[in-house]
Structure 1
Amino acid sequence: MNKYLLICTLVFSSFATQASNLINDESIKDQKNCFNHIFKDYATWRGFIKEKRQKRIKSEEKLLKGMAAFDSMFGEEKFNQYKNNLSCITFKYNVDDLEVSGYVIKPKSNKKKLPVLIYNRGGNGSYGSVVFGSMMHNLFPIANEGFVIIGSQYRLSRTKGVLLDEFGGKDVNDVIALLDYIPKIKGADEKRIGMYGFSRGGMQTHLVLKETSKIKAIATIAGATDLLKELDFRPAMEKVYTKRITDYGKNKVAELEKRSVLNWVSELSPNIPILLLHGEDDKKVSVNNSIELASALAKNSIPHKLVIYPKDDHGLIKNKEKANEELVSWFREYL
């Protein structure tokens, strides 16, 4: 995770305050405005980041360089544009008797109902949570183009010694549950729902599609499509699988195959188009995952588009604007 996004992780949930409800449902709790406290304006947010950095960076030159990078990634002009144009809340909802956190981002001014995108984040446990910095960098640009975005942080990584995030197990229910709230979001078109996911979120996206027919189009960014084969590329993921997946030690192959869309491509609907985005030099999830899935989709006559970005890595940092344009164009065409 980018270091600026990581810093935001430490404070985002603590600094949101009550907002006007975007979801009209009594079962939804703690709807809070994203743009408040240290995120109320760019200067306050920037000052917080600078203060945090000053405590560990003694070199003035390095500090200035770091803040310049922060401004380059975010910037006051973009911040103000998004604050003026978008409504953003965090909220809590219940799934399987567990409290789960989520968020909604939507344009403030819309005279007609807007298409909805469910976003599935990457990471595992609390790592990779969608905090303010990642919202602004990854989600605000998409919502600003005329989409309602709703997403889940997935169930907590641990409670009373029990692991909850099963990395594609019961946590998939946390995403499916969001479908019930979309009709309750003012200005959201419940008949035009798309879904996209990053990294682990790509896996979540395919797993959700097995359980619902409400999704009209999907996209994945750097998604793993064959988790067993991927272990040869990135052996370190064995630790994540061992920690997260129930009975992994006993049923390793079966559990990974259940989470790997390449094993059940023939079951995918020919009516749901799939966009695949991947960096050629991805060090975390091999680009072959998307290449091989595209080949399998073609053999099964499933509509799709594969875009590979040369010399780019996992987060498509070098091609962020181009990737966003692909996403917006894809969902405008199919929703």
Structure 2
Amino acid sequence: MNKYLSIISLALLSFTSQATNLINDERIKVQKDCFTSIFQSYDSWRGFMEKKYSKRIKTKEELLKKLSWFDSMFGEDNFNHYKNNLSCNTFKYQVDGNDVYGYIIKPKINLEKLPVLVYNRGGNGNFGGVVFGSMMQNLFPIANEGFVIIGSQYRGTFTKNPSAHDEFGGSDVNDVTALLDYIPSIEGADEQRIGMYGASRGGMQTHLALKKTSKIKAIATIAGTTDLLKELDFRPAMEKVYANRIPYYDKNKVAELERRSVLKWVSELSPNIPILLLHGENDKRVSAKNSIELASALTKNSIPHKLIIYPNDNHGLMQNKEKANKELVSWFREYL
């Protein structure tokens, strides 16, 4: 099984058993509990991963090292804490006639209505899809602080529908804004306090989504791309992604990339929506200059913002994950 099929299988395993609906809306036909199948317990998840690792790791020593890494990344205590305290569903919804997968995470117990965060994932197509491991690492810690989190996998992800194509900031942005219609149907969610944040390509999605709605009160981006054309000099390999994803790229390259680059239209941003920018200094996927230059442009346009560059850290802020999560929580608590 190649790595993409493996990602798909892990994601779709969450769709194998019924769950209590977290979104009470008849337009959503399928809602499944994240904590089912191999994710019903830490042991079953770890056992599944051990079998997977065993297929490509030759020695017992290497296998034990890999399992030790797995435990350090996730851990049974963390797993049980999140399972006991959070509700998590995957679901299917329709946008522009396409079936799209999404996910929702919320605290099990809340005495008052909670603010909502729309999360925009990175990657493209199946690469970067939000599977259970990425939820546990990136989303569960935020939701556990008193937020409802809802997000889209984007059209074409984990499906075989050829007409549902991820356009990397094209019609797939509708998959993000469509989620806003379901927030009033989430019990315990405060539809008046909605924020949005995204990582990598998800930063681009966040800025594009704000062009289509006035419901968002504050945003944040993690290693976000702000000038796609300039980024090609830093990472030429992205040309292949753009050419494959963006419609009519061969004829309208500059126009399409500029339309997706917030640095080209900073003056159109609302001065009433504060922006948090987080970036790793040694990011090899998206240059930290994207966030630095956007912060400078925001200052010139009197748009409230905060920029944090983490020295020596990478694209995923792995050295400062806890600090970054605290920044996100503090930011949205202040402005929502």
Does TM, normalized by the shorter one, top 0.5?
A: yes
Question: Residues 13 and 37 of structure 2 are in contact (CA less than 8 Å); yes or no, is this contact kept in structure 1?
Answer: no
* RMSD (Å) for aligned C-alpha atoms: 1.6
Q: How big is the shift at 1:210? A: 0.6
Q: Which SS does the other structure have where 2:197 is aligned?
A: strand
Task: Report how far residue 55 of structure 1 moved.
Answer: 1.7
| Per-residue deviation, 1:58 | 1.7
* Residue aligned with 2:122, SS: coil
Gaps in structure 2 of 5+ consecutive residues: none
Q: Deviations over 1:256-281 (max 9, x none)?
A: 00000000000000000000000000
Q: Deviations along 1:205-234, whole A, 9 cap, x unmatched? A: 000001111000000000000000000000
The residue that corresponds to 1:73 in the other structure is 73
Measured in 1, the distance between the counterparts of 2:56 and 2:161 equals 33
Letter in 1 for 2:127: Y
Q: Which runs of 4+ in 1 moved over 3 A?
A: 3-9, 157-163
Question: 1:4·1:70 contact (CA, 8 Å) conserved in 2?
Answer: no
- Structure 1 position 304 matched with structure 2 position 320: no
Q: CA shift at 1:287, angstroms?
A: 0.2
Distance 1:73 1:203 in 2: 27
Residue 7 of structure 1 deviates from its aligned partner by: 5.1
Q: Distance in 1 between matches of 2:208 and 2:295?
A: 17
Distance of 1:71 and 1:7 partners within structure 2:
20
Indicate conservation of the 8 Å contact 1:220/1:276, yes or no. Answer: yes
Q: Does 1:102 align with 2:102?
A: yes
Change (3 A) 1:89 1:5: farther
Find the counterpart in structure 2 of residue 146 from structure 1: 146
Q: Equivalent residue of 1:164, what SS? A: coil
Amino acid at match of 1:133: G
- Give me the whole-angstrom Cα distance separating, in 2, the residues matched to 1:297 and 1:92: 37
Matched, 1:116 2:116: yes
State how far apart, in whole Å, the 1-side matches of 2:264 and 2:203 are. 15
What CA distance in whole angstroms lies between the structure 1 residues aligned with 2:6 and 2:164? 25
CA distance 1:141–1:238, change in 2 (3 Å) = same
Residue 243 of structure 1 aligns with an amino acid whose one-letter code is N
Within a 5 Å distance, the mapping from 1:32-71 to structure 2 comes to 32-71=32-71
Give the 3 Å change call, closer, same or farther, for CA 32–159 of structure 1 in structure 2: closer
C-alpha separation in 1, matches of 2:146 and 2:3 = 27
Cα offsets for 1:28-77 (capped at 9, x unmatched) = 02100000110001011001101111122121111111000000000000
Letter in 2 for 1:92: K
1:297 is aligned with what amino acid?
L
Moved more, 152-161 or 315-324: 152-161
Provide the secondary structure at the position in 1 that maps to 2:178: helix
Match of 1:209 in 2: 210
1:15 Cα shift? 4.2
SS in 2 for 1:231: helix
Within a 5 Å distance, the mapping from 1:147-226 to structure 2 comes to 147-156=147-156, 159=160, 161-162=162-163, 164-226=165-227
Distance, in Å, in 1 between the alignment partners of 2:100 and 2:313 is 33
TM-score normalised by structure 2 residue count: 0.96
Q: Secondary structure at the match of 2:249?
A: coil
Q: TM-score normalised to the size of structure 1? A: 0.97
* Matched residue, 2:29: 29
Which piece of structure 1 moves more, 53-62 or 262-271? 53-62
Structure 1: gaps spanning 5 or more residues: none
Task: For 1:93, give the aligned amino acid.
Answer: Y
Q: 1:308 to 1:6 in 2, by over 3 A?
A: farther
Aligned partners of 2:29 and 2:65: how far apart in 1?
A: 41
**Structure 2 matches for 1:5-20, cutoff 5 A?**
9-16=8-15, 17-20=17-20
Q: Provide the identity percentage.
A: 73
Which digits, 9 at most, give the CA deviation of each residue in 1:85-120, with x for residues without a partner?
A: 000000000000000000100000001000000000
Question: Which residue of structure 2 lines up, in the alignment, with residue 236 of structure 1?
Answer: 237
Amino acid at match of 1:275: L
Q: Aligned residue for 1:266?
A: 267
Cα displacement string for residues 116-160 of structure 1 (whole angstroms, at most 9, x for unaligned residues): 000000000111000000000000000000000000000005756
